[in-house]
Amino acid sequence: MKKDDTNSRVLLAVVISFIFIIVYSYFVQDPSKKEQHKATQSTAQNASTDSSQTTQEQDSPNFTHNQAAQASPFQQAPVRPIISRVVSNSVEVEIDDLGRIAQVYLKDKKFTAPRQEGFFSHLGWLFGISGTESKPLEKLPLLAPQAIFPLEIRFQDQALNSLATSTAYKASSTQIDLSQDGTPKTLTLTQAMPNMVVTKTLQFFYDEDGLKYTLDIAMSNPTPYALSSGMRPIADDDGYAFHGVVLKSGGLDGTIEKIEDKDAKPEGESFTQVPFISASDRYFTTLLFTRDVRGLHTQVVGDSKKHPIPYIMLDSNIELEGYVGPKNYQLLKSIYEPLTDVVEYGLITFFAKPVFVLLEWLYMLMGNWGWAIIGLTIIVRLILFPLSYKGIMSMQRLKDLTPKMKEIQEQYKGDPQKMQMHMMQLYKKHGANPLGGCLPLLLQIPVFFAIYRVLYNAVELKSSEWILWIHDLSVMDPYFILPILMGASMYIQQALTPNTLDPMQAKIFKLLPIIFTLFLITFPAGLVLYWTINNIFAIGMQLVINKIIDKQRALEIAKHKKPHKDHAKADTKE
């Protein structure tokens, strides 16, 4: 078989592999994601109908105090009647007759705006796929119709627990309007059982984005019980984002603990000195917290599908605070600064947070998230310029030495030790470092990854317009203009950058712009904008460095020619 044929087959295999990964990722979804997406759509479609038309799953933990709550298999139970509603211009809340927050709706247009559905929906004529344009929602439901809701109470005493789940609460008011004057409003929920009266006093605060409230639980005969902050929202089912429970264990200076969907242990995990416990999807959260420095004793239990259910373990009356809504950094900070830890970016959170703070400052300065992303990209490139410059110059030296390196490889191909020794001597003589081009690039990877995590998880980018065709930086470019520009800029950057690749590697390298274009084509426009501007800036930097290199070469040539001219003049005189 000819070498060219082998190379062609390898290249074809690479292209087919990447196309398969992309198509599989977007067409063959995880079954749990499909179920979750259907649940979200069903809830959205029924947002304006009576809640008694849906069903709800319950699980009944059989736990002892200070031990893990044991989650039994899910059992179908009828949806409880809604006994009170809390409404404002931006939020609507339903309270059911078990004293739980059964649903929270967001009404702001940035959460209810239509989104384009379907992979390559704008190119349906080419692939035979018909894209469907979502209709604007009247309001966006955050909570799953079959879940453990916020403020749900479970008692250790099974007889009492059974009685509590069948005894309805009574509300002090059937509706509270927060938008009238913006002042906090109080709702009292009372559950009267033969040997126990449970009173939940809720105070709601007006807010433009989410639901803020305080909670006071009083029991006439305190006994061990568990209080849930609720299972995670389902408003954004993106498969690349974290879904699960986030909490801080060991006090305000403790460690962040994360229990992701499908990873929760059925026997439960216990945590102490917890200032907050939160269940989150990509953009939204439901949480409870305390300002008491002693914190809370919490447990996270896996349901029948290993989805985490958060509980706070209690045995007396308690005062807490809660929030349900978007993970808006500044809003969470204004409520209670430690809550900003709910906005987490994985292992690189410690670095990503300052990056977001800088991005937000640029937004306040420029008034647009698109221009803020461009500003952030330029600042990062300027900071990393010394590293990039050293890397490119090192690659250029290696490229200039390529002919001599090949001579040494040919001369000592039978003696690897001598070949390595002469290579090192060559590098030392010309001040070249074979790792010089790689090391600066490796050091930049954490920076790029942090920016990727920030832009991908920032709810602030939802429904944020940039220019003309970009109406939402948190979703894909509907016309694929940015991905195509990104691919083109990447190709130009490659053409300008010196390299020492062999022909086979060079062919694969040339495929990278196509591969990255296909891979990023459905990524949020904000991310692709960052990558495109980063490439454009790199092109400009490479052109400047190429001019510097050309000047250096011209000086070296002139330096070598000068002695010859002087020698020629001396011969003429003689």
Strands 175-177, 82-87: pairing kind = parallel
Mark whether 185 and 328 lie in a shared domain: yes
Cβ atoms within 10 Å, residue 45: 12
Mark whether 146 and 250 lie in a shared domain: yes
Residue at 60 is within a domain: no
3-state secondary structure at position 247: strand
* Each residue's pLDDT tens digit, 94-103: 999 999 999 9
- Say what the pLDDT of residue 22 is: 53
Which distant-in-sequence residues (6+ apart) come within 8 Å of 320 by Cβ? Answer: 214, 215, 217, 227, 288, 289, 290, 312
Mark whether 105 and 243 lie in a shared domain: yes
Which class for 574: exposed (0-12), middle (13-18), buried (19 or more C-beta within 10 A)? exposed
Lowest mean pLDDT: which of 39-48, 67-76, 185-194, 470-479? 67-76
CATH of the domain at 195: 2.70.98.90
Mark whether 152 and 233 lie in a shared domain: yes
Cβ atoms within 10 Å, residue 199: 17
Residue at 25 is within a domain: no
Residue at 65 is within a domain: no
* Band of pLDDT at residue 572, cut at 50, 70 and 90: low
Mark whether 335 and 397 lie in a shared domain: no
The structure tokens 């053409």 sit at: 495
* Each residue's pLDDT tens digit, 292-316: 999 999 999 998 889 999 999 999 9
- Say what the pLDDT of residue 159 is: 93
- Say what the pLDDT of residue 398 is: 75
- What range does the domain containing 441 cover? 359-559
Residue 544 has pLDDT above 60, yes or no: yes
Alpha carbon dihedral 102, 106, 111, 116, in 10-degree steps, equals: 50
* Each residue's pLDDT tens digit, 206-223: 887 889 999 999 999 999
Cβ atoms within 10 Å, residue 467: 10
Residue at 412 is within a domain: yes
Residue at 574 is within a domain: no
Residue at 149 is within a domain: yes
Mark whether 116 and 158 lie in a shared domain: yes
Mark whether 248 and 284 lie in a shared domain: yes
Mark whether 118 and 240 lie in a shared domain: yes
Residue at 38 is within a domain: no
Mark whether 332 and 393 lie in a shared domain: no
Residue at 7 is within a domain: no
Domain count, the chain: 2
Yes or no: say if 154 and 69 are a contact pair by the CB < 8 Å rule: yes
* Band of pLDDT at residue 59, cut at 50, 70 and 90: very low
As given in the structure block, the two tokens for residue 532 are 């495109």
Mark whether 337 and 364 lie in a shared domain: no
Lowest mean pLDDT: which of 11-20, 48-57, 455-464, 513-522? 48-57
